[in-house]
Amino acid sequence: MNQGEFLSADEVRELTGYKHVKEQDEWLSTRAIPHRRDGKRVIVSRVHARAWLEGRPVVSSNGPNWNAVA
């Protein structure tokens, strides 16, 4: 089974339990799962979804953490 980096629309629907993008977005936001709305779709990283399911902290990155560099 070849799974891409992002969940399919069906997988997002299955994960959230909602068909409509607005409700999917709200559900994901409430659970702090990083995602992006792109018009009439919600983009969710498969890695973030798995981390949330496993109970691991879900962290999205906007680049290097320069404060961590000694």
- With contact defined as beta carbons under 8 Å apart, do 34 and 52 qualify? no
Cα–Cα distance measured from residue 70 to residue 60, given in angstroms and rounded to the nearest whole number: 22
What's the pTM value of the predicted model, to 2 decimals? 0.78
**pLDDT per residue as tens digits for the range 6-18:** 999 999 999 999 9
- The span from the CA of 26 to the CA of 58, in Å, is 17
Domain ranges for the chain, please list them.
Answer: 9-59
pLDDT, tens only, 55-68: 988 766 656 656 66
Helix (H, G, I), strand (E, B) or coil at 19: coil
